Every structure is written in structure tokens, then in C-alpha cells.
Amino acid sequence: MPNYKVFQDNPDQARIKIYGNQNLAVNTDTSGNLGITSTGLAITPPVSGLSITSAGLAVTPPASGLSITSTGLAITPPASGLLITSTGLAVLASLGTSDVSEAPIANNSSTAGGPDTAYNVLALREWTLAVVNNSTAANAQALAKLQISPDDANWLDEVSYVTLSVGQVYGLVSSTFMKYARVYYAAVNSASAITLNVYFQAQT
């Protein structure tokens, strides 16, 4: 057949070249990998390559830009905050804990009572004050209640007194949100001195 060549003199002309809608060839790096650039978006794949698979992937970077690098993921959320929603997406947060054991309230015989250490609980997710009656006398009963305060000066009884026999433990949890919390304690009988251990445990 006239003018038909089985072998192309210029092999470069036999390759398929891809152009975008601006009549410009698709950009690749020196290794032939596809180069993607956009204002505010930078993707640097690791040595083994970057693999993204999804039925539909949408990335909208914030005004300051979204940067994904092989050393980790850095996300700078917009001023309105970052919202992540997806079926099947699990976000696990590591919880910090606080565990404080106060020095024992030893040999206290006051029936009028007194307060223990006050704790600032404003930034805590969950917290509990536990009281253990470690008195040595068999009939040394103790009274304990939870008090809360907005200012560490004016205190409100969250619950009324609970009575603890020797060896008994009781957990005090508030149902009202205020900044400070403490245990208020007393002896049932002034002739039977009490010894109490107070524990403050929380998730931060």
C-alpha cells in the first residue's frame, strides 16, 4: 500500500501523548510519574509511592493549605474548625489520666467535719472522688459527701452525707457542672476516731 510504513522512522511519533483542555501536555517528573500541582495543595509521595483508592475522593484544602508528606500528616484546620464525617471512619483519641492519692485523714474525731483538698475539674472529661474508711476501730463510722464550687470559696452540697463503715469504699460523682470539687467528711462518733483515704481519679 503506498505511503504506509510498517516501521516508524521516528519512534517518538508512535507514542500516545495526552493533553488537557488547555491544549497542554500532561506534566510528569523526570521519572515519568504524574506531577500534580495546585495553589495550596502539595503532595510529596514516599519512596514506595503514594496510593489513593476510593469510590470518590474529595479534598478541599483550607486557605493556608493542606500538606501531606512522607514524614507524616499535617492538617491546619480553617477558622471554623475541622469536621470529619464518613461511614466506616473511626477516629481514636488517646485519653490522658490523672490519679491522685491524698495523704490519709488519720485519727479524726470531729463530728462537725471538715473539707479535704479541692480539685479543679473544669477541663476534665470524667472524674470521681473515692473515699475509703480505713479506721482501725471496728465501730468507727465516717460521714462523707461531695461538695462543688464555681470559685473555690462558695461550696454547694452535691449530695447529702453517706455513712461508711470500716473497710467500706464509696465513689462520689457530681451531676452538676462546676469548676471545683472536694470531699467533706466527719466522724459519726467523737469517741471513735476515723481514718480516711481519699482518691481523685480522672480522664483528661
**Reported pTM:** 0.56
Q: Phi and psi for 21 in degrees, rounded to 5?
A: -75, -5
What is the pairing mode between strands 162-164 and 142-149? Answer: antiparallel
Tens of pLDDT, residue by residue over 7-18, are: 556 666 666 677
Query: pLDDT tens, 114-155?
Result: 999 999 999 999 999 999 999 998 899 999 999 999 999 999
Please report, for the chain, the start and end positions of each structural domain, with discontinuous segments joined by +: 10-81, 97-203
Q: What is the pLDDT of residues 35-84, one digit of tens each?
A: 665 544 555 666 665 555 555 555 555 555 555 555 555 666 666 666 66
Other C-beta atoms within 10 Å of 183: how many?
A: 25
Give CB contacts under 8 A, 24+ apart, made by 159-168. 161/186, 163/188, 164/131, 164/132, 164/133, 164/196, 165/133, 165/141, 166/133, 166/134, 166/135, 166/136, 166/137, 166/138, 166/139, 166/140, 166/141, 167/133, 167/134, 168/132, 168/133
Amino acid at 104: P
Indicate the length of the chain as a whole number.
204
Most confident of the ranges 3-7, 16-20, 171-175: 171-175
158 has pLDDT over 80 = yes
Least confident of 9-18, 129-138, 173-182, 189-198: 9-18
pLDDT (0 to 100) of residue 40: 46
- Higher-pLDDT residue of 147 and 29 is 147
| Pairing of β 97-101 and β 194-203 | antiparallel
Q: Which CATH class is domain 97-203?
A: mainly beta
